[in-house]
Structure 1
Amino acid sequence: MSSRAQPQARGTVCFAGGLGTVVALGLLWAGPAAAQSEATIALQACESFQGLVVSPATIGLPTQGATVLVAERVAAQPRTVAENGEIILPLPAHCRLAGEIASIDEQAPEIQFNINLPLAWNGRAMQSGGGGLGGTVNTAPGQKASGRWDPQPFTEAYPLTRGWVTFGGDEGHRRGDISFIYNDEALRNWGGDALKKIHDVALPLIERAYGQSPDYVYFNGESAGGKEALYVAQRHAADYDGIMAVSPVLSWTYIHIADNYIRSRLVDNWLDADDIGLIADATRDACDADDGLADGILARYLDCDMNPYDLVCPGGETGAGCLSTGQVRTLNAIREPWVMGVPLAYGVNRFAGFGITGDEDGAENQYSFYMVGTEPPAHPMPAGRGFQPGLGAIMNFGAVWVRHVMAQDETFEPYDFYPPAYADRIQYISGLFDATNPDLSPLRARGGKLMILAHSADNAVSTGMIAEYYRSVVAEMGEAAADDVLRLYVGPGGAHNGTGVAQADTLSLLVDWVEQGDTPPVEIPIYDIDPTTHETRRGMVACAYPRYAHYDGSGDPDQPSSFSCRDRTDPLAYDSSAR
């Protein structure tokens, strides 16, 4: 990372006092004893933010303004161990601001936000995206106040510790409550409007705190937050210098309708744990060694030609050690591209499918959690919210999406959803939510940079979908222009939410690209780090798309130095008619 990556204390820090008073405070320029005194004074000034109002005129989308409801000193936190055994690194003393952004429609929930202000600021601010269906203030205590987000290695000091301001919000609704979907302003906030509103509230508060605006503003998000990262890159490019999108669910509308389609196939042709193990074993047998090493990881993530019909039982019925014809069709519905017959925003007219991972039976967060679950889908689905315990998480997301967002009817049966009958609604929602615009020229024109990290064994987000987006950018802008603003890395063997070989210091790469103009390399080291011990269990390389990681034939297979990135012939070469 460049020298700017470490906290650089500034001469003064300015905290607002009330609505008009500004108190200038020296910070961390004296020796240790004086520095402690001055830091304490700065924290005392934190409380003067209480009740501060941000005018609606300051916010780029319609609101009734924002109010700081909490302004509190947060003491330094030592290294701790969470209930799940994960090591939590120390955090510095800082000032925490929390508040609400009032909606125009009083029936729409307010947007909650949280800002963490370090005492020694390095001039950078990071906005964090959410996850799942949102509804959690993602930089609040107990969430991502530190600014850490996968894939940052567990052993690396958190952004807040390095001197970054961190901020984020809850997308304008509370987790577990579905009723907000029936309010258009709340739906638009969830779709992406809340991101702009939170940004426009945070920036003037940061300026009040330090007497100047950030030198650089970044956005970082994973999964749904990764979609939000691409959303702001495409729709609010002027607000950000660097953007990191991890496992982005970018074609949000298509993937959730596809999830519901897969769910309908699972009703009659479910796959249990034995079936999943059979599929995973056959996939690894067919393709594992294609990357030079039979290690359980398919680094050639788009090239596996395993034929699932080889697993069909004699007669096509279910049996021990084989699948029925219907189950294979379900597997193909999961893996293969799907067209619903309704074109979406920016010309997208298909879902790439979830592809072949070879890690379907992974111990954590794989098919049993995200995809097929531990029990078949209910049919009919009970009225109401629609979440079914035991069903795969993304199957639940698809059913909720179809019932509440598309049909707008809490009694609607998702099994009966026929997309062409809802074409107008689908296209309207796609325009609100989807982050598939291939034109990144506004971001490029301001010198901004976008970095995407995908994982080859992600069974919750389609790596093929992400690759198709990358190819659409190249087709739209040309290779040289796309290369100037965008990088896509694919790590071998990593799963959703950072499980497996999925930890890489992409933040340093992004900062150096944005601030120093350092061109990101073709390959970057990526690791499997035990969060409970910080032991590095394995290292490989993530490659700039479309290359893949290949074992060199000698050397320790657990070290990145034993792998190199090889070119590949892309079997999914971009075709604009296939978007």
Structure 2
Amino acid sequence: MSASPAMVRAPGRVGPRRRASTPRALLALLAFITLPAKADDACRALAGVALAHAKVESAMVQPGADFPAKGDRLAAHAGAHCAVRVVSHPTADSDIHFELWLPPADAWNGKYLQKGSGGWGGEVYTYALVTPLNRGYATAVTDDGHVADGTAGFTVGHPQKIRDFGYRAIHETSVLSRRLIAAYYRRAQSQAYFVGCSDGGREALMQAQRFPGDFDGIVAGAPAARWSRLMTAFVANARRLDDAPLPVSKLAAIQKASLASCDALDGIRDGIVDDPRRCRFDPASIQCKGGDSNDCLTAEQVATVRALYAGPMDPVTGARIHPGLEPGMEDDGGSWRLWILGGEQRKFGFSNFADLVYQGRGWDPAGRDIHRDLVAAQEREAPYLDAFNPDLRAFRAHGGKLLLFHGWGDAAVPPRGTIEYVQDVGNFMGRHGEPANLDDFARLFMVPGMGHCWGGPGATSFGNEEVPPPGLPQDADHDIVMALDRWVTEGKAPEQLVATRTAEAVDSPARTRLLCKYPQVARNGRCVAAGNPP
């Protein structure tokens, strides 16, 4: 998920973090002048590489590129590289574009890293390639097979584009990029990694499930894995709010009360709920007694907040459609304010059903048959978009390593869904003769105080952002992508990560926090067994 076609632009930080960009024109010119002619020739030669159902549209050496600060995006500079643009047509209705950046041969670390998309995709978002390129990776990103307009309109009348978005564009980019890497460097990559969050996290899990040999290591952040159910939950939440509106002005009172009830459960009052599953906050505790105001909730609003925490139910089967939201970050700018009351869930859910599921006909946004919608979604989109298959035996046999992370304050993709997936994988493996303990190939890190993919009141920088904030440590103890690389190449599995937050990132003090391998939690600077939540 994302609040925009490109996941990296999704609001989720509390306020922007802008940096002035140092002029680099002279350095870029010098880098371009000193690039050996043979590198330029080798880059241009990629235009002649024969690719199955695909074509290299352009291949040229770029001296370097500045990415100015924009919105919540940090200023960044990409080093010199060979930029390759490719279009692939695996079907007559497919139009998959991707861009591959190749560092100079003497700067290449011998590895390939592919980035995931976000939201509905639809953009070759090259900003996501800056950090891996500068670290020496050959790196690529795709538009998922269509042009972005913020909706699922591209799917109407185009069943192959649904498949492209669901899984095929990522696989095509991987296969073709590796072919071009071998042509450029005259040798194959030693390792291949995939890194994505939100829809990119869904894509990450899809790779492990459908194409287990594509990547040696995968980072799946906040994966929108059970897409069909998540979109149904979005619509159910929107209709609940239509029936019993919740004013934005009430969010501060809700968060204040939930923190008062649950913040100190881990022994520290720091404005963060460490494990919301232990929280027993009841919004009825602030129900209005002497008239409505912003400091209290009406009886109808109490019911709405309870429903949002619980997650919507299928009125026919009585089963929960998708896990609900967690307490503690209701008033955060990238949490309920954006996704619940700001309309992002509504936008995604309504377009999903009107365009993708019902193909522009037969769906009433004001309708109330949520069971019908769920059944239709599971029939018409789940086979191509859902990435909740617990069978990771082939990925494990390939030697693949999987790192997952999820923010406890995520209001876009509620976090308990990821915990459920990891548990399902363990149960499946155990039933099929595999070790039920996933530690040898898969680990999950839950992040207190973090919203969707990044941002929030906690320490939330651990290599999960497209470009790391300046001044933060960049090593395998502080960066989840580098931790993955170390696990794959050195066999050292991450037991914990250190998340950091700079004082200037948002209007609050700097802090660090230990992130522990689930189900452990941090206590007094150590990761310890959490026990079962009540």
Question: Structure 2-normalised TM-score?
Answer: 0.83
Aligned-residue offset at 1:530: 6.1
Partner of 1:69: 57
**1:73·1:93 contact (CA, 8 Å) conserved in 2?**
yes
**1:247·1:453 contact (CA, 8 Å) conserved in 2?**
yes
Distance 1:342 1:514, change over 3 A: farther
Matches within 5 A, 1:165-314: 165-176=138-149, 178-182=152-156, 183-314=158-289
Partner of 2:449: 493
In 2, distance between residues paired with 1:254 and 1:242? 27
Cα deviation digits, residues 243-294 of structure 1 (max 9, x gap) = 0011111111111110100000111322222211111011000000111111
Distance 1:164 1:536, change over 3 A: farther
In 2, distance between residues paired with 1:424 and 1:261? 14
In 1, distance between residues paired with 2:72 and 2:222? 25
In 1, distance between residues paired with 2:300 and 2:234? 17
Cα deviation digits, residues 425-472 of structure 1 (max 9, x gap) = 523411211111112111111111000011122222211111111111
Confirm or deny that 1:359 pairs with 2:334: no
**1:254·1:350 contact (CA, 8 Å) conserved in 2?**
no
Matched position secondary structure for 1:50: helix
Distance 1:370 1:39, change over 3 A: farther
Distance 1:430 1:411, change over 3 A: closer
Q: Of residues 82, 86, 93 in structure 2, which corresponds to 1:99?
A: 86
**2:100·2:140 contact (CA, 8 Å) conserved in 1?**
yes
Aligned-residue offset at 1:240: 0.8
Instruction: Give unmatched runs, 5+ long, in structure 1.
Output: 1-32, 56-64, 147-157, 344-348, 374-391, 553-562, 573-579
Matched position secondary structure for 2:453: helix
Which amino acid is 2:529 matched to? D
Aligned-residue offset at 1:519: 2.3
Which amino acid is 1:526 matched to? A
- Give the paired residue count: 477
Which amino acid is 1:495 matched to? G
In 2, distance between residues paired with 1:448 and 1:290? 37
Aligned-residue offset at 1:192: 1.3
Cα deviation digits, residues 203-236 of structure 1 (max 9, x gap) = 1111111112111010000111011101101111
Partner of 1:503: 461
Q: Of residues 116, 136, 145 in structure 2, which corresponds to 1:163?
A: 136
In 1, distance between residues paired with 2:249 and 2:376? 41
Which piece of structure 1 moves more, 39-48 or 229-238?
A: 39-48
**2:236·2:312 contact (CA, 8 Å) conserved in 1?**
no
In 2, distance between residues paired with 1:131 and 1:403? 20
Distance 1:129 1:330, change over 3 A: same
Which amino acid is 1:465 matched to? G
In 1, distance between residues paired with 2:75 and 2:31? 29
Cα deviation digits, residues 484-533 of structure 1 (max 9, x gap) = 11100012211223114211101121111111111221x32111236869
Give the RMSD, CA atoms, in angstroms: 2.7
Matched position secondary structure for 2:326: coil
Which amino acid is 2:329 matched to? D
In 2, distance between residues paired with 1:342 and 1:427? 17
Aligned-residue offset at 1:424: 5.0
**2:78·2:133 contact (CA, 8 Å) conserved in 1?**
yes
In 1, distance between residues paired with 2:415 and 2:111? 30
Which piece of structure 1 moves more, 161-170 or 328-337?
A: 328-337
In 2, distance between residues paired with 1:210 and 1:406? 44
Distance 1:350 1:320, change over 3 A: closer
In 2, distance between residues paired with 1:324 and 1:238? 54
Aligned-residue offset at 1:371: 1.6
In 2, distance between residues paired with 1:342 and 1:219? 39
In 1, distance between residues paired with 2:41 and 2:488? 34
**2:250·2:296 contact (CA, 8 Å) conserved in 1?**
yes
Distance 1:163 1:457, change over 3 A: same
Which amino acid is 1:372 matched to? L
Which piece of structure 1 moves more, 476-485 or 495-504?
A: 476-485
In 2, distance between residues paired with 1:569 and 1:350? 25
In 2, distance between residues paired with 1:172 and 1:472? 31
Confirm or deny that 1:403 pairs with 2:363: no
Distance 1:497 1:483, change over 3 A: closer
Partner of 1:421: 372
Matches within 5 A, 1:337-486: 337-340=311-314, 350-362=320-332, 364-373=333-342, 392-409=343-360, 412-422=363-373, 423=375, 425-478=377-430, 480-486=436-442
Q: Identity rate of aligned residues, in percent?
A: 29
Whichever of the two has the greater Rg, that structure is: 1
Matched position secondary structure for 2:378: helix
Distance 1:286 1:532, change over 3 A: closer
Cα deviation digits, residues 531-567 of structure 1 (max 9, x gap) = 869x9821011111122233x3xxxxxxxxxx33332
Confirm or deny that 1:570 pairs with 2:525: no
**2:94·2:164 contact (CA, 8 Å) conserved in 1?**
no
Partner of 1:144: 128
**1:342·1:419 contact (CA, 8 Å) conserved in 2?**
no
Distance 1:304 1:532, change over 3 A: closer
In 2, distance between residues paired with 1:417 and 1:403? 14
Cα deviation digits, residues 148-190 of structure 1 (max 9, x gap) = xxxxxxxxxx221121000120111111164321211011111
In 2, distance between residues paired with 1:431 and 1:342? 22
Distance 1:433 1:86, change over 3 A: closer
In 1, distance between residues paired with 2:504 and 2:453? 13
Which amino acid is 1:324 matched to? T
Partner of 2:520: 547
**2:31·2:63 contact (CA, 8 Å) conserved in 1?**
no
Which piece of structure 1 moves more, 214-223 or 492-501?
A: 492-501
Distance 1:351 1:486, change over 3 A: farther
Distance 1:498 1:85, change over 3 A: closer
Matches within 5 A, 1:37-52: 37=34, 39-50=36-47, 52=49
In 1, distance between residues paired with 2:72 and 2:218? 30
Aligned-residue offset at 1:410: 5.4
In 2, distance between residues paired with 1:278 and 1:196? 46
Which amino acid is 2:340 matched to? M
Cα deviation digits, residues 333-391 of structure 1 (max 9, x gap) = 22114333799xxxxx64442332311112x3121112211xxxxxxxxxxxxxxxxxx
In 1, distance between residues paired with 2:84 and 2:414? 36
In 2, distance between residues paired with 1:408 and 1:418? 18
Distance 1:481 1:328, change over 3 A: same
In 2, distance between residues paired with 1:100 and 1:38? 27
Partner of 1:88: 75
Which amino acid is 1:122 matched to? N
Q: Of residues 100, 106, 110 in structure 2, which corresponds to 1:115?
A: 100
Instruction: Give unmatched runs, 5+ long, in structure 2.
Output: 1-29, 463-478
Question: Structure 1-normalised TM-score?
Answer: 0.77
